[in-house]
């Protein structure tokens, strides 16, 4: 039976019930019409499914699943095809447990280094987050399993997350916080989108008609279902009117009863409820085939994939030649994290892994190892006995591999961090070990960025391994031994100080409001605009080989006038080193002269290439018109201004040796003229200036006759100048001029 046919058979009570879930992880079914409940589950980096029910908050008792590296890690791969592979594997695991919708990925922007959930998010850059998000969504949905793009939108902190209002300009929303969602929706049509807990400019996301209907559905053409985050519905009727289809988990019987009452008294039109029900029925129809599957997956194959992904995502930050270490070398493996690995974040994304391989065990398969804990991870106090033992072990080894990082309680869903420091006991142990044996390769295990000023002086090599998932230990051994050549690049800037972050003075807000005062200057955009030195820039990463990029060519086509401006950016990449490797070519665009404050440069394209030693290849990266645009709130649309743009190519946001300047011709960008436009705005507009001339010819005063006064008070609105008798046209003339301008431009008054 078709969705519309089913709709005619449902009672009002059944319709209302369908728009709230049946229980924590299941939608409502209607047996008499063959509508089957489907299961949804957390799963951004691996499934956290509870098919037979879980605890009262759904956080424990999940079935075993492959724990892939979380988003903060895989983002550093800069490889959408790799995320596609992860997505396909997660999709297959979902099929094996009859799971219809995976709740992920999360593509919220890393506005502040302190957000407690940063390990679940991809990047500080919306372009990178969008491209990577497409990869994992396409991968999961290629297996006939749905995704839930989250958390829509401006969910950038955990502090007071259910009540806080993100006070943010529409320009910042359009340029920073929405583009990743837009890219994934318009490219991949995720089955569902999950609204966030927070308010945006005072309106809860679940009740935000502009967000859920005007933007998501009407502008972007979203065809799927909008569901709530768990507990994000505060008024079920208002949420339904705004465009929220499914409340999870259900507030029973209150939400369905409220919907019935609202339809009955006419405050919620039944056709609006029908729209919500259609979305639920379509999702149930999409997810139903999965319920009858009898499939499995190869856990060992998925573990191997997880190991490869972790290896390709680790970022080599420094290396004085210590790495790679020859297999068989006598290596001191130091740090409790080597024996007791931390490989994922805490909260709703926490996976029950199929198996876990520790770095110590993996390194011991390759090297002649000894071990010392050096510190405890359940206390930040220095343990002198453990430090002494670590020093003795380090002295007796050829090389040291020391793991340090963030203990689990330092970062989790539910709360934000208050600092970026590594634990003092780990730093004290590192200093002592490095004094005993300076040949120290430091491996970082953390889901959020940390300050490295007390680390780099003691590290002959520094590897940011992030949270590596269940196979992260093997990936660390692969890179340290040279079996894998590191190719990860930072998806977020690593600053010298927390205070350097552009959101520092406005995070996390107070009294249920947080001001996004940095506007579009988030991450490297803010550091670069303020000329702030950073520890490691966005896009940075080293390799065991070297690459050269040359012969930049930029070819444009189309035009702004026809809304099809585009550019092809081509370069030659050569592996100039002695071993094969992978390199990320990054393309940034700058608009040096603009009518609004724009970041000094913005990532607008990238590609990752694999090359044998001595090999070269030509790569081309396409830029569309959006790459040159900014959001102009006055006009409520994307605009491109005429002038020169700089296209730069290089290794990271601060190493861009290849540049080309292109000139773009575009129609003039100006707001409609009204009586409240300034005198200078009227002068700058060709027809506005003509109307001023006509008024002057008819005997009306002309401010231009007063010479320098145009510079002094020309920024007054024309209607305000009308009160200055004898200096500008009078009120009636100004109103007539504004009406004439609007009529000639087809603008309504």
3-class secondary structure per residue, 323-383: CCCCCCCEEEEECHHHHCCCCCCECCCCCCECCCCCHHHHHHCCCEEEEECCCCCCCCCCC
What is the band of 125 on the pLDDT scale with cuts at 50, 70, 90? very high
- pLDDT, residue 51, reads 79
Fold of 3-292: TIM Barrel (3.20.20)
pLDDT of residue 234: 97
Mean pLDDT of the chain: 95
- pLDDT, tens only, 132-165: 999 999 999 999 999 999 999 999 999 999 999 9
Kindly report the length of the chain.
749
Residues 510-534: what's their mean pLDDT?
Answer: 98
For position 421, what pLDDT does the model report? 97
Residue 170: burial class (beta carbons within 10 Å; 0-12, 13-18, 19+): middle
Give the pLDDT confidence of 424-469 residue by residue, as tens digits: 999 999 999 999 999 999 999 999 999 999 999 999 999 999 999 9
Predicted confidence at residue 8, as pLDDT, reads 94
pLDDT of residue 748: 47
Looking at the chain, the whole-number percentage of residues with pLDDT higher than 90 is: 88
- 3-state DSSP assignment of residue 175: helix
* CATH superfamily placement of domain 305-535: Glycoside hydrolase family 3 C-terminal domain (3.40.50.1700)
pLDDT in tens, 527-578: 999 999 999 999 999 999 999 999 999 999 999 999 999 999 999 999 999 9
Report the range of poorest mean pLDDT among 25-39, 533-547, 721-735: 721-735
Contacts of 714 (CB under 8 A, 6+ apart): 678, 679, 680, 683, 703
Q: Tokens 């665009």 map to which residue?
A: 589
Q: Of 125, 229, 591, 651, which is the active-site residue?
A: 229
Q: Are 441 and 459 in contact (CB under 8 A)?
A: yes
- pLDDT (0 to 100) of residue 188: 98
**pLDDT value at 59 more than 70:** no
Per residue in 660-670, pLDDT (tens digit) is 999 999 998 88
Domain 545-664 CATH class label: mainly beta
627 or 700, higher pLDDT: 627
682, β-bridge pairs: none
Does residue 229 carry a catalytic annotation? yes
3-state helix, strand, coil in the chain (%, to 5): 35, 20, 45
Residue 48's beta-bridge partner residues?
A: 42
Each residue of 180-210: pLDDT tens digit?
999 999 999 999 999 999 999 999 999 999 9
Query: Mean pLDDT lowest for which of 72-81, 301-310, 674-683?
Result: 674-683
Please work out, in degrees rounded to the nearest 5, the angle formed at the alpha carbon of residue 301 by the alpha carbons of 339 and 584. 80
What percent of the chain shows pLDDT beyond 70?
98
Give yes or no for a contact between 629 and 641, defined as CB atoms under 8 angstroms apart. Answer: no
Q: Which two structure tokens, joined as six digits, stand for 607?
A: 């590609």
Write the DSSP string, 458-500.
G-SEEEE-----TTHHHHHHHHHHTSS------SS-EES-GGG
Burial of 287 (0-12, 13-18, 19+ CB in 10 A): buried
pLDDT for residue 58 is more than 80: no
Res. 49: pLDDT tops 50: yes
pLDDT at 749: 42
Domain ranges of the chain: 3-292, 305-535, 545-664, 679-744
- pLDDT for res 165: 98
Q: For position 57, what pLDDT does the model report?
A: 55
Residue 68 has pLDDT above 50, yes or no: yes
The pTM of the full predicted model, rounded to 2 decimals, is 0.95
- Look at residue 63 in the predicted model and tell me its pLDDT: 92
Q: Does 713 score more than 90 pLDDT?
A: no
Is a pLDDT exceeding 60 seen at residue 166?
Answer: yes
Q: Is 305-535 the same fold as 3-292?
A: no
Task: Reply yes or no on whether the pLDDT at 95 is more than 50.
Answer: yes
Q: Which two tokens stand for residue 90?
A: 């997660």
Pick the residue with more confidence: 56 or 359? Answer: 359
The Cα 317–Cα 667 span in angstroms is: 45
For residue 443, give the 3-state DSSP assignment: strand
> What phi and psi, each to the nearest 5 degrees, are found at residue 386?
-65, -40
Q: Confidence class of residue 348 from pLDDT cuts 50, 70 and 90?
A: confident
Rounded average pLDDT over 323-331: 98
Q: Which helix (H) or strand (E) element contains residue 618?
A: strand 616-623
User: What's the pLDDT score for residue 23?
Assistant: 93
User: Residue 54's pLDDT is what?
Assistant: 53
pLDDT in tens, 380-423: 999 999 999 999 999 999 999 999 999 999 998 999 999 999 99
pLDDT of residue 55: 52
Q: Does 746 have pLDDT greater than 80?
A: no
């Amino acid at each position: 039976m078709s969705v519309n046919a089913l709709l005619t058979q449902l009672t009002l009570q059944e319709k209302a019930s369908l728009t709230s879930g049946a229980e924590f992880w299941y939608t409502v079914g209607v047996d008499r019409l063959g509508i089957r409940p489907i299961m949804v589950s957390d799963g951004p980096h691996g499934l956290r499914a509870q098919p037979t029910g879980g605890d009262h908050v759904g956080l424990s008792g999940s079935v075993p699943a492959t724990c892939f590296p979380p988003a903060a890690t895989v983002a550093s791969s800069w490889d959408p095809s790799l995320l596609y592979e992860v997505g396909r594997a997660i999709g297959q695991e979902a099929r094996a447990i009859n799971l219809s919708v995976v709740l992920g990925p999360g593509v919220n922007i890393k506005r502040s280094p302190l957000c407690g959930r940063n390990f679940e998010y991809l990047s500080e850059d919306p372009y990178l987050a969008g491209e990577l998000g497409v990869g994992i969504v396409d991968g999961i949905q290629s297996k006939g399993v749905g995704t839930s793009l989250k958390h829509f939108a401006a969910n950038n902190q955990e502090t007071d997350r259910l009540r806080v209002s993100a006070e943010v300009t529409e320009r910042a929303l359009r340029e920073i916080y929405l583009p990743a969602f837009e890219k994934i929706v318009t490219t991949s049509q995720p089955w569902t989108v999950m609204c966030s807990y927070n308010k945006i400019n005072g309106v809860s996301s679940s009740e935000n008609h502009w967000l859920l209907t005007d933007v998501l559905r009407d502008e972007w053409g979203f065809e799927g279902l909008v569901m709530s985050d768990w507990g994000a519905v505060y008024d079920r009727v208002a949420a339904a009117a705004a465009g929220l289809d499914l409340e999870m988990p259900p507030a029973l019987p209150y939400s369905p009863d409220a919907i019935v009452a609202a339809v009955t008294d006419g405050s919620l039109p039944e056709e609006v409820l029908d729209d919500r029900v259609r979305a639920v029925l379509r999702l149930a129809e999409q997810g139903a085939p999965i319920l009858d599957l009898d499939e499995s997956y190869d856990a060992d194959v998925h573990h191997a994939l997880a190991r490869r992904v972790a290896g390709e995502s680790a970022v080599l930050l420094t290396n004085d030649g210590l790495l790679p270490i020859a297999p068989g070398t006598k290596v001191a493996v130091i740090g409790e994290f080597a024996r007791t690995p931390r490989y994922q974040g805490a909260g709703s994304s926490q996976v029950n892994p199929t198996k876990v391989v520790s770095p110590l065990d993996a390194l011991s398969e390759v090297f002649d190892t000894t071990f010392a804990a050096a510190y405890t991870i359940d206390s930040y106090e220095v343990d002198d006995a453990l430090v002494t033992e670590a020093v003795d072990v380090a002295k007796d080894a050829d090389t040291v591999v020391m793991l340090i990082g963030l203990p689990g309680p330092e970062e989790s869903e539910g709360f934000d961090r208050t600092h970026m420091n590594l634990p003092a006991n780990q730093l004290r142990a590192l200093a002592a070990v490095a004094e005993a044996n300076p040949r120290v390769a430091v491996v970082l295990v953390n889901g959020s960025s940390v300050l490295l000023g007390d680390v780099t002086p003691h590290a002959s090599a520094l590897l940011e391994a992030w949270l590596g998932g269940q196979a992260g230990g093997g990936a660390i051994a692969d890179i340290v031994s040279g079996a894998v050549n590191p190719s990860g690049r930072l998806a977020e800037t690593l600053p010298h100080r927390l205070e350097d972050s552009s959101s520092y003075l406005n995070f996390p807000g107070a009294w249920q409001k947080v001001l996004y005062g940095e506007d579009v200057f988030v991450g490297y955009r803010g550091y670069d605009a303020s000329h702030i030195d950073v520890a490691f820039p966005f896009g940075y990463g080293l390799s065991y080989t070297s690459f050269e990029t040359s012969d930049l060519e930029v070819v444009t086509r189309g035009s702004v006038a026809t809304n099809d401006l585009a550019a092809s950016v081509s370069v030659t990449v050569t592996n100039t080193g002695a071993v094969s490797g992978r390199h990320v070519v990054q393309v940034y665009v700058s608009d040096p002269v603009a009518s609004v404050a724009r970041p000094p440069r913005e990532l607008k394209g990238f590609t990752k290439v694999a090359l044998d030693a001595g090999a070269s290849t030509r790569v081309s990266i396409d830029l569309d018109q959006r790459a040159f645009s900014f959001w102009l709130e006055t006009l409520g649309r994307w605009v491109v201004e005429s002038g020169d743009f700089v296209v730069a190519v290089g290794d990271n946001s601060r190493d861009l040796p290849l540049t080309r300047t292109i000139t773009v011709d575009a129609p003039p960008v100006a707001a409609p003229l009204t009586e409240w436009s300034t005198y200078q705005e009227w002068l700058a507009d060709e027809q506005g200036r003509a109307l001023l001339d006509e008024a002057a010819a008819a005997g009306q005063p002309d401010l231009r006759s007063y010479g320098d006064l145009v510079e002094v008070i020309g920024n007054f609105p024309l209607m305000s100048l009308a009160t200055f008798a004898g200096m500008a046209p009078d009120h009636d003339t100004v109103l007539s001029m504004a009406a004439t301008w609007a009529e000639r431009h087809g603008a309504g008054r």
